[in-house]
Amino acid sequence: MGSNLVVTEKDSQYTELTRFRQTAYGIIHTKLPAVKPLNLLLVYRARMKLRLPFEAWMWIAALLGLAILGPWLDGRASFCIPSVLGSALGFDFCWGCGLGRSITKAFHGDLLGSWNDHPLGMFAILTLLVRIITLIHQSLKDPS
């Protein structure tokens, strides 16, 4: 009788431990509930496998870099290749200059300043976002 009781106690402890382990495993490895947007995002991520084309990575890096590093970069670095080349070669005109600052200001909510730096800053953000989404769509349709 006694030995039986001990065994069952140990047994119950064991099962509790395994149950705990199973639930922990379950919490970690269970499929997420069918929340539509979240599921969509996970499916996107799983099927994408970070195999976006080079161009998409460049635009994403450009927009993120300008949004995050933009205030720090202002006045320290110029990405305008025509004007850098131009100052070396002796001419100085580029109708794209100010676009980086404009995009940074637009990301930080200063729409008027963005417009004053370059009228196309907000248009550039929109166009690049559309392009990024198009590229993601294409790479989802036929991953190559």
Partner 1 sequence: MNSLFTYLPDLEGEELMYINTIISDMSESQIQQFAMMYRSRRKEPQMILLLTLVGALGIAGINRFILGQIGMGILYLLTWGLCGIGIIIDLVNYKKLTTSYNQRQAFEVANMMRMMGA
CB 60 → partner 1: shortest distance, Å? 12
Q: How far is the CB of 139 from partner 1 (least distance, A)?
A: 9
The answer to whether the beta carbons of residues 112 and 127 sit under 8 Å apart is no
User: Does 118 help bind partner 1 (rule: CB under 8 A)?
Assistant: yes
Min CB(40)–partner 1 separation in Å: 23
Token pair, residue 94, equals: 């580029």
Q: Which stretch binds partner 1 (CB under 8 A): 6-14, 21-29, 33-41, 122-130?
A: 122-130
Is 53 a binding residue for partner 1 by CB under 8 A? The answer is yes
User: Which amino acid, residue 90?
Assistant: G
Name the nearest CA neighbour of 63 among 115, 15, 107. Answer: 107
Distance CA 54, CA 136 (A): 11
82 binds partner 1 (CB under 8 A): yes
Q: How far is CA 127 from each of CA 12, 124, 133, rounded to the nearest angstrom?
A: 63, 5, 10
**Is there a contact between 58 and 140 (Cβ–Cβ < 8 Å)?**
no
The yes or no reply on residue 76 touching partner 1 (CB under 8 A) is: no
Question: Which one among 52, 104, 114, 124 touches partner 1, defined by CB under 8 A?
Answer: 124
Which one, 42 or 61, has the nearer CB to partner 1? 61
Rounded Cα distance, 36 and 85, in Å: 50
Q: Tell me which residues touch partner 1 (CB under 8 A).
A: 53-55, 58, 62, 79-83, 94-97, 99-100, 118, 120, 123-124, 126-128, 130-131, 138, 142, 144
